[in-house]
Amino acid sequence: MSLRPSKGADGRPLLPPVHSAAGCLDHPDYRRDEESDEQDRQDEQVDRGARPRLELAGVWESEDGPTRRTVCCRECFWDGPLTWLDDTRLAVWGYGTDDEHWIAAVRVFDVTTGAELDWFPGPRGALVFDRELASLDGLTLWDVKRGARLARDSAQLARYHPGAKIYAGLPASGELATCRVRGIDAAASWSTPTIRTLARRIAHDRAFAELPVLGDALLLAGCPDADMIAHCHAPGEHGARCWVLDRLVEP
Ligand SMILES: [Zn+2]
């Protein structure tokens, strides 16, 4: 009994493959490879046409060229914590001039001019910025504008997921620890009693279909956070929790 079909998928009889020094040229797999190579070439051409191009300004500029800025010069202490606050401001950890004795602090620089804009004491550990500055020695949140500590959690949280807006860590116990910012906007000037009540109700009932109404209310109340408003208006699932509601509802 033969295990091979006598006809191919197109109904034509299967022919013995033709062998050559380069291999089996007529083997169906080989033909598929040729076809997929051609498809790859076509896809590549389509991609090349559609793909956004990155153009680096001053790509041929030397390391000491005119756009170079010295932001925060240190002799031996390097690779310390730093994070972007926006497109032009950089937060760099550590204050002082002695490479062995840094004051726990954050310095804020404008990278377009090299100027130091501000500094404030307190933060320790890796830095993350998402609306607030977080220092990951435990988890502490800071208001960069005022240099004020907003909240603190003792859990060891070494990573931040910007999409889920969750801090996470794996301490020695082996049990995953997670933390999310809650209630931080409950006292904001634009966080009216109506907004807080609506947010609390949506969270309690998990009535995420009403989030666009909350988005409209935030807009009318003058909420400056475009991402929060856009999140309320965006379609899609919100899982068991929603980061916008978490920020508005006090724990
Ligand atoms: Zn959500």
- From ligand 1's centre to the CA of 84, what distance in Å? 24
- Amino acid sitting at position 178: T
pLDDT at res. 174: 86
Q: Measure the CA–CA gap between 44 and 47, rounded to whole angstroms.
A: 5
Share of residues in the chain with pLDDT > 70 (%): 77
- From ligand 1's centre to the CA of 149, what distance in Å? 26
Provide the strand spans (E) within the chain. 19-20, 23-24, 82-84, 89-95, 103-110, 116-121, 127-130, 132-135, 139-143, 148-153, 159-161, 166-169, 177-179
Q: What is the pLDDT of residues 123-176, one digit of tens each?
A: 999 999 999 999 999 899 999 999 999 999 888 899 999 988 999 998 888 889
Which of 177-181, 187-191, 217-221 has the least mean pLDDT? 177-181
- From ligand 1's centre to the CA of 160, what distance in Å? 17
pLDDT at res. 41: 64
- Whether residue 100 is predicted with pLDDT greater than 70 in this model: the reply is yes
- From ligand 1's centre to the CA of 120, what distance in Å? 32
- From ligand 1's centre to the CA of 151, what distance in Å? 22
pLDDT at res. 192: 96
- From ligand 1's centre to the CA of 228, what distance in Å? 9
pLDDT at res. 207: 94
- What one-character-per-residue DSSP string does 173-228 give? T---EEE---STTTTSTT--HHHHHHHHHHHHHT-GGGHHHHHHHHHHHT---HHH
- From ligand 1's centre to the CA of 181, what distance in Å? 13
Q: Measure the CA–CA gap between 217 and 225, rounded to whole angstroms.
A: 13
Q: Measure the CA–CA gap between 192 and 214, rounded to whole angstroms.
A: 11
- From ligand 1's centre to the CA of 163, what distance in Å? 10
- From ligand 1's centre to the CA of 231, what distance in Å? 6
Using the structure block, give the residue that is written with the tokens 């190579």. 37
Which helix or strand (DSSP H or E) is residue 234 part of?
none
Q: What is the pLDDT of residues 16-62, one digit of tens each?
A: 333 333 333 333 343 445 555 666 666 555 555 566 665 666 778 88
CA 64 to chain CA centroid, nearest Å: 31
How open is the CA angle 213-218-223, to the nearest 5 degrees?
165
In order of 51, 70, 190, 197, 200, the CA distances from 251 in angstroms are 44, 43, 19, 13, 10
CA quadruple 163, 130, 222, 203: dihedral positive or negative? positive
Top-confidence residue, 177 or 21: 177
- From ligand 1's centre to the CA of 69, what distance in Å? 39
Q: What is the pLDDT of residues 60-91, one digit of tens each?
A: 888 888 878 888 888 888 889 999 999 999 99
**Which pTM does this prediction carry?**
0.72
